[in-house]
Amino acid sequence: MPELPEVESVRRGLQRARLRAAVRSIYRSRERLRIGTAWNHENLEVLLGAHPGKVARRGKYILWHFTGASHELGLIVHLGMSGRFGLARAADPRLAHTHFVLQLEDGREVRLVDPRRFGGLRAGVRAELEHSAPLCELGPEPLDRGFNGGVLAERAAKSARALRDVLLDQHVIAGVGNIYAVEALYRAGIHPLVAARRLRESAWDRLATALRDVLRAAIDNGGTTLRDFRDVRGHVGRNQNELAVYGRAGQPCPGCGTALVGFVHGGRSGVRCPVDQPRRRGAIV
């Protein structure tokens, strides 16, 4: 699933394309997009005639700004499991599983191709989008100035849940998924399945720093492509070559050479180093 760095790569690509011409037409397939059904109706027709502007991001959501005749509008896009949000020309053939096309007056198009249809779309008055679900329910942005171990601890330090699962909770911290949670826990030297409430201040600080480091590195590498992810020009990311432990169970730890150990918890897989992320008793410092 695209996580913060992949969505940020898409955001940057859209921003760089400098799309400014008004929306001429909107195509939407008849197929439902699953995540989006929880956010009320898609309301895409409000974008007709509106002019696209800045492209923002919140967690794993793109929030594309539009200026309409009477309101500042927005379009929320979630890429789900397999969604690709890409640039095209009107004359380019449409791929199978194209569920949404925004055609602009200059002949350029933005298309959502999503074979598994776990994504979501919603348009509306921007202020209303920003203050309603899903955006208003998200936790803090890990790359914002001011994010640190204290911010993370404030939201998670009382939890009895496994730390890796807490990091995947978008209400606790926005944008982190399994890949970057597993990578950050390795980098911080913390066992992924300890109860969050066992961490002390120093461990939260180390984890917050590790999260920022792995997310920033992944953005610099254009995101991680394990299968589906592509940027707006159709290019794969390069960060999959830089992952320290994710997807590498059985291979040697890059730090100590011990074989990495895979695990499954809550239906999700993960990887850890048994030496650098040992089980410990008592508080984690």
Question: Which residues here bind Zn ion, judged by CB under 5 A?
Answer: 253, 255-256, 258, 273, 275-276
Residue 83 near residue 119 (C-beta atoms within 8 A): yes
Sheet bearing 72-78, strands edge to edge:
51-58, 61-67, 72-78, 120-125
For residue 103, the SS3 value is: strand
- State the nearest-atom distance from the C-beta of 187 to Zn ion, in Å: 11
- State the nearest-atom distance from the C-beta of 279 to Zn ion, in Å: 14
Residues paired with 64 in a beta bridge: 55, 75
Tell me, yes or no, if 8 is annotated catalytic.
no
Q: Is 278 left (phi over 0), alpha (psi -120 to 50) or beta?
A: beta
149-156 vs 201-220: helix crossing angle, rounded to 10: 110
Residues paired with 103 in a beta bridge: 25, 109
Output 216 or 248, the one with its CB closest to Zn ion: 248
Cβ neighbors of 12 (< 8 A, separation 6 or more) are none
Residue 138 near residue 129 (C-beta atoms within 8 A): no
Cβ neighbors of 71 (< 8 A, separation 6 or more) are 125, 126
Tell me, yes or no, if 268 is annotated catalytic.
yes
Output 202 or 258, the one with its CB closest to Zn ion: 258
Output 157 or 249, the one with its CB closest to Zn ion: 249
Cα–Cα dist 196/153, whole Å: 9
CA angle 170, 67, 76 (to 5 degrees): 20
- State the nearest-atom distance from the C-beta of 256 to Zn ion, in Å: 3
Tell me, yes or no, if 60 is annotated catalytic.
yes
Set 2, 5, 134, 192: catalytic member: 2
- State the nearest-atom distance from the C-beta of 204 to Zn ion, in Å: 22
CA-closest candidate to residue 129, choices 184, 181, 78, 187 = 78
Output 78 or 187, the one with its CB closest to Zn ion: 187
Set 155, 238, 268, 274: catalytic member: 268
- State the nearest-atom distance from the C-beta of 275 to Zn ion, in Å: 5
Set 11, 58, 60, 164: catalytic member: 60
Output 219 or 273, the one with its CB closest to Zn ion: 273
Tell me, yes or no, if 2 is annotated catalytic.
yes
Output 62 or 273, the one with its CB closest to Zn ion: 273
- State the nearest-atom distance from the C-beta of 36 to Zn ion, in Å: 41
Catalytic residue numbers, as ranges: 2-3, 60, 268
